[in-house]
Amino acid sequence: MQTHISTTPFGRRALTLGQIASQATAKAMPKEAAANKWQVFQHIREARELLGATDRSLAILNALLSFHRETELSAEGELIVWPSNEQLMARANGISPATLRRHLAVLVECGLIIRRDSPNGKRFARRSRAGEVEQAYGFDLSPIVARAEEVRYLAETVQVEKKAFRVAKERLTLLRRDIVKMIDTGIEEGVPGNWGRVLQTYQGIILKLPRTAPRQLIEGICEELFELHGEIRDVLESFTKTQNTNANESHSERHIQNSNPESIFESEQDYREKDEASGSAAETDNVRSLPKRDLPLSIVLDACPNLLEIVQSGEIRHWRDFLSAAELGRTMLGISPSAWQDAQGVMGEVQAAIALAAIYQRSGQINSAGGYLRSLTDKAREGKFSTWPMIMALLRAKLDDNKGRQSQAEGNAGGAPRLEVSESLVKSLQKLKPLP
């Protein structure tokens, strides 16, 4: 009896050129072709994105393969399976009929199976008297055998790409860690250089990195960081060689002590004593009487607008942005990492950042930002310091300046903008003493 092999889908489903290509590939495979179905399925899972398959479609493909009794699929054997929709849904973890139809279509479009539909669309097999299958209608698995070598190559390509991506991410992490720590070392040891500008360059490179980046972009950023890494390392190595060549042991020890940008001012007892002398009993009582609530971010930014100048976007919307800006300001002021960590440990991250913003605002009037911060940290440790007086004093200075400008621009609609503050805040400002 002569039978006809179906090549078109049943019902309203259209025949596509992709389906014809899949059928041609399956028809052209050698008769001796064979493949382990589970090994090929593993390769398909690894290369599913390149093939265009989905997780659900692979679950259905796994179910279809389970209906074939043999583990080894051969071109000379029977490669059509004919499970009902109910059987497929049960083996595919109980998915809905609509989901089943949709993802079966995905498998067909990917060229992983071929539909062999009967005249009425039912799936069944006609057997001979001897029990052998004469004609089967269902899903043809021959593409699994025909494309076994192609799928294996795609899986290897995906593995190579994943490895390259992992290596690029590791390199990025190591470069970021090295650069940050070398910058901190340069500041801590007093190595000559504009370390604030170096940190800005580093952050400018990192800002190009989105939350999810392709490997090519990560490798490009790594190249920029590697160049910056080499420049910083050259500066540190040159400084080290100069120290070893031109100084004896005792001179070197003195130079290292003097190279610390904070040590000169921190060793001056009169500076510390003068600063701590302001912590009188009255001042301590004043600190205790200050509001217990946190300073609003908007008030801090009104008092310390200079911090906005070092932010690339020119705006600070959240506390996390404020903390990042403070870290950059810390480097530009030459404050050592140890002084900064001590301040954060005593005051807390937010309060330490507010104190630093106030110091940055008055950087032109402070000889040693690091020494000043250490002094504030000591007072905070004793419970004699709060960021409220610093911010209020800066706001009062800004208010006084605004009043002078307003008197000159009175009657002019395009005059200088006024600083709007409440009456209670004005009274609070009037009670505060200027910053030391």
The answer to whether the CB of 47 falls within 8 A of the CB of 153 is no
Distance CA 146, CA 133 (A): 22
Distance CA 64, CA 389 (A): 74
DSSP 219-288: HHHHHHHHHHHHHHHHHHHHHHHHHHHH--HHHHHHHHHHHSTTHHHHT-HHHHHHHHHT--HHHHHHHH
Q: Please, which residues bridge with residue 81 across strands?
A: 139
Distance CA 293, CA 351 (A): 12
What band does 282 get if pLDDT is binned at 50, 70 and 90?
very low
129-138, 149-158, 171-180, 195-204: which range is least confident on average?
Answer: 129-138
Tens-place pLDDT, residues 253-270:
444 344 444 333 333 333
Q: Are strands 133-140 and 114-116 parallel, antiparallel or unpaired?
A: antiparallel
Q: Are strands 124-127 and 133-140 parallel, antiparallel or unpaired?
A: antiparallel
Question: How large is the average pLDDT for residues 248-253?
Answer: 46
As to burial, measured by CB atoms within 10 angstroms (0-12 exposed, 13-18 middle, 19+ buried), residue 434 is: exposed
Q: What is the pLDDT of residue 308?
A: 85
Residue 192 main-chain phi, psi, to 5 deg: -60, 135
Q: What is the pLDDT of residue 33?
A: 84
Nearest Cα residue to 22 out of 102, 124, 141: 141
Q: Please, which residues bridge with residue 115 across strands?
A: 139
Q: Would you say residue 425 has pLDDT above 60?
A: no
Nearest Cα residue to 430 out of 399, 387, 385: 399
Distance CA 368, CA 390 (A): 17
Place of tokens 């799928």: 151
Distance CA 224, CA 291 (A): 47
Side-chain-side CA neighbours of 194 within 13 Å: the count stands at 5
Residue 432 main-chain phi, psi, to 5 deg: -85, 145
**Buried b vs exposed e over 4-43: b needs ≥16 C-beta within 10 Å?**
eebeebeeeeeeeeebeebbebbeeeeeebebebeebbeb
Note if the pTM is more than 0.75: no
What band does 332 get if pLDDT is binned at 50, 70 and 90?
confident
Two tokens at 115?
């539909």
- What is the torsional sign of CA 11, 12, 17, 21? negative
Two tokens at 234?
């050259």
Instruction: Provide the residue count of the chain.
Output: 436
Cα–chain center distance at 360: 29
Tens-place pLDDT, residues 151-190:
999 999 999 999 999 999 999 999 999 998 898 888 888 8
Tens-place pLDDT, residues 343-374:
999 999 999 999 999 999 888 888 888 889 99
As to burial, measured by CB atoms within 10 angstroms (0-12 exposed, 13-18 middle, 19+ buried), residue 44 is: buried
**Buried b vs exposed e over 182-197: b needs ≥16 C-beta within 10 Å?**
bbbebbbbbbebebbe
- Within 10 angstroms of residue 300's Cβ, the number of other Cβ atoms is 24
CA distances from 347 to 330, 339, 382, 386 (A): 15, 12, 11, 9
Q: Please, which residues bridge with residue 135 across strands?
A: 126
Tens-place pLDDT, residues 78-115:
888 888 889 888 888 888 889 998 988 899 888 888 88
